[in-house]
Structure 1
Amino acid sequence: MQIGTYLTKQISSNTYTFNSVGSKGVVELRIIISKDDQQESIYYNLAFVVWNRILNDIDDTIELRNGDMDRILATVANTAMLFMKTHPQSLLYIQGSNSIRTRKYQMGISKYANSIPPNLGILGLLDENLLNGSAPAWKWEHFKTGTNYHAFLLYTK
């Protein structure tokens, strides 16, 4: 990534913490990479959430608006790329908690596509029947800018 990232701290095997610093102050964020429930699975899910210190729990519904979205997304992307480096046979699933967040992720991927290492690939999940009103027909394709996706899958080539 060409933009600066925040320093992350690994707090458990696949959980990382960092602070967003911006117009709303300092906000603790977490990146949680969890394995699919099946023991032999190569699928992992990446969750990016705000840490609620009062409840001592995560919250993926808060709209942060701290003025540092590019730096936050760069930090999450950097953590995902480091995870793939140490888990090259894995597939990392990424989807926002709502369509607006997924769209923000997509814009970040598009904006910094040239910074993605050549050994990593990204697939986008789309509904082939979205425009004709039929039941969804989900399909993974290689990520293309200008196409709206419902989720993303990071893999090692």
Structure 2
Amino acid sequence: MQIGTYLTKQISSDTYTFNSIGPKGIIELRIIISKDDREASNYHNLAFGVWNKILNDIDDKIELKRRYGSSSCDGSSNSNFIYENHPQSLLYIEGSNSIRTRKYQMGISKDVNNIPPSLGILGLIDENLLNEALPALKWEHFRRNTNYHAFLLYTK
């Protein structure tokens, strides 16, 4: 299997591994798709990051470019690969912090024209962002130059 130019190995039904090669070495990355039992049966969370062999878990706080001189693979390749393997999933994506979520948003904005027409992207926006009222979160179709708290990928 491949994600873009990355040779990908499926470890289990919901876990994929691949390596990114940068100037400072090889980095093992993983994608884990987990079902959220609190939501509809096809609602899943997407976790992505550097594989920590000691903790046996993903470390989604590592800045790849700063630490390894490499950046992660592009979003359109990720979305194509994931939906080939999980075609009816609603995939929830949120960064481990606001900076990471912003990076995901910039990646989606850059690749939005390469995402197949069969996939849709929603962004979670706070309608009361300019007011001091309680947050009023709602999903809307993804728009460039709009700050979102999270993203939802779905098949149309």
TM range, normalised to the smaller chain?
0.7 to 0.9
Percent identity between the two aligned chains: 71
Spell out the pairing of 1:118-133 with structure 2 (5 A cutoff). 118-133=117-132
Three-state SS of the structure 2 residue aligned to 1:141 is strand
**Quick one: distance in 2 between partners of 1:90 and 1:22?**
32
Deviation at 1:151, TM superposition (A): 0.5
User: Which residues of structure 1 form unaligned runs of 5+?
Assistant: none
User: Which residues of structure 2 form unaligned runs of 5+?
Assistant: none
Structure 2 partner of 1:97 = 96
**Quick one: distance in 2 between partners of 1:42 and 1:55?**
28
**Quick one: distance in 2 between partners of 1:112 and 1:34?**
24
Q: Residues 111-144 of structure 1, C-alpha deviation per residue, up to 9 Å, x if partnerless? A: 1111010111100000011111211000100000
1:8 aligns with 2:8: yes
- 2:90 counterpart letter in structure 1: L
- 1:63 counterpart letter in structure 2: E
Higher RCO (CA 8 Å, separation ≥ 6 residues): 1
Three-state SS of the structure 2 residue aligned to 1:8 is strand
Q: Report the TM-score when normalising by structure 2.
A: 0.87
**Quick one: distance in 1 between partners of 2:132 and 2:7?**
45
Structure 1 partner of 2:87 = 88
Three-state SS of the structure 2 residue aligned to 1:85 is helix
Structure 1 partner of 2:135 = 136
Greater shift after overlay, 8-17 or 76-85?
76-85
Deviation at 1:39, TM superposition (A): 8.5
**Quick one: distance in 1 between partners of 2:151 and 2:97?**
13
Change (3 A) 1:126 1:7: same
**Quick one: distance in 1 between partners of 2:40 and 2:138?**
24
Give the aligned length: 152
The answer as to whether partners of 1:30 and 1:49 remain within 8 angstroms in 2 is yes
**Quick one: distance in 2 between partners of 1:38 and 1:126?**
21
**Quick one: distance in 1 between partners of 2:56 and 2:130?**
42
Deviation at 1:38, TM superposition (A): 4.4
Spell out the pairing of 1:41-52 with structure 2 (5 A cutoff). 41-52=41-52
Q: Report the TM-score when normalising by structure 1.
A: 0.87
CA RMSD of aligned residues (A): 2.0
- 1:134 counterpart letter in structure 2: A
The answer as to whether partners of 1:73 and 1:108 remain within 8 angstroms in 2 is no
Which aligned segments of 4 or more residues in structure 1 are displaced greater than 3 angstroms?
A: 85-88
The answer as to whether partners of 1:14 and 1:33 remain within 8 angstroms in 2 is yes
**Quick one: distance in 1 between partners of 2:153 and 2:140?**
12
Structure 2 partner of 1:27 = 27
